[in-house]
Amino acid sequence: MDYQKIEKWTPSARTSIALHKVMGIPFNRMCNLQDMYNVPVAESTMWDQVEALWNESGTFIYQALEQLAANSSNYYVDDTPAQILEVCNKNKNLPKNQRRSCNTSVICSTTEENKQIILYVTDTKHSGENFSELLSKRNIDDGKNINMMADASPNNLSKIDKLLLEKMNVFKCFAHGRRKYHELLSFDKEYCMYFLKEIGSIYKNDRYCKNNHHDHLNRLNYHQEHSTKHVQRIYQKIDELFKDKLVEPNSALGKAMQYWINHKEGLTQFLTEPGMSLDNNLAERMFKYMILQRKNSYFFKTKKSAKILSDLTSIVVTCRQNQVNVNEYMNWIQENWIRVQKNPDNFLPWHYQEYLEVAATSVARTAA
């Protein structure tokens, strides 16, 4: 009797393990779950399958997304702490003044076709260094400025080449500036309410543009017409309070106001450059996936595992941001892994929907 060879690990099995891990379930908990089904699977076996998925197709998709993101124009960048045991062990032998931190950087970009790309990088570098490395892969020079949204942390701009910085418009996060006043509301209600009201009016104008589906240029024109006066009032009030010595520069409110002075250019970029949001909330929202992993697993064992899981999370979240069925897509790229390796650009998340439409048309013609 001829027996057909059965592949033990199907694409759907690998996808299931990878998605469980991305959503924060550690391998040991998955093992316990498998035991409940009387189908025990070792942690090392689960990791082998995740690594196989990454080696066969995941890494090629990530590199294609990375290249596409490098040639975008608008970026939202931020950092969150991470822990890699391999790095922690090496850090024990470093001099005291040597950098010891590990971080997960998120870089969000939008393509010319309005497709969102979310990239995660977990290593010993800050977001500015990772962002600079991404832009080093840029292969177009269309003369357009590069727009980057970041908070006030110097880590977001560290190690970026000076020539590159000259081409960039660095936006500062309105939400951070607003939060500083909101935290002091119970101490200086009168002045803080004034600033919060003006900032709220600017956000109201932005919501109006979103609700009415304004394009980037119309949104810019609307802000210039309706938000300029609110920005002017904010800075006029700051000048007045400092000039009349109603607020001490070294007080909590004075420091909050000084933030707006120090970052005036970045906070007012939305009045001169189209296409960017008022705040960095997109990048901060995207951290929830990596933070969920951190809360449940605490750490990455090696730099390699940190890269693999960060890359796979990038693919999964990019799918979700573009309304692509993650489970079906991950199965699809595994089933076509040879073609993915040869031409990954044809297998990016948004191409899966095109594949389904072509397949549906083919079936309809056959039925006819």
**Mean per-residue pLDDT, 352-365:** 78
Our separate counts of H helices and E strands in the chain read 18, 5
Task: State how far Cα 27 lies from the chain centre.
Answer: 25
Helical ranges in 6-154 per DSSP H: 11-22, 27-36, 43-53, 59-70, 85-91, 127-135
Per-residue confidence band for 165, with pLDDT thresholds at 50, 70 and 90: confident
Per-residue b/e over 335-366, b at no fewer than 16 CB within 10 Å?
Answer: ebbeebeeebeebbbbebeeeeeeeeeeeeee
pLDDT at 136: 85
Residues 175-222: tens digit of each pLDDT = 988 999 999 998 889 999 999 999 999 999 999 999 999 998 999 999
Distance CA 58, CA 167 (A): 32
**Mean per-residue pLDDT, 152-169:** 70
By CB atoms closer than 10 A (0-12, 13-18, 19+), residue 367 is exposed
Model-level pTM? 0.90
pLDDT at 201: 95
Residues 72-123: tens digit of each pLDDT = 888 999 989 999 998 888 887 777 777 778 899 999 998 888 899 999 999 9
pLDDT at 159 over 70: no
**Mean per-residue pLDDT, 257-278:** 91
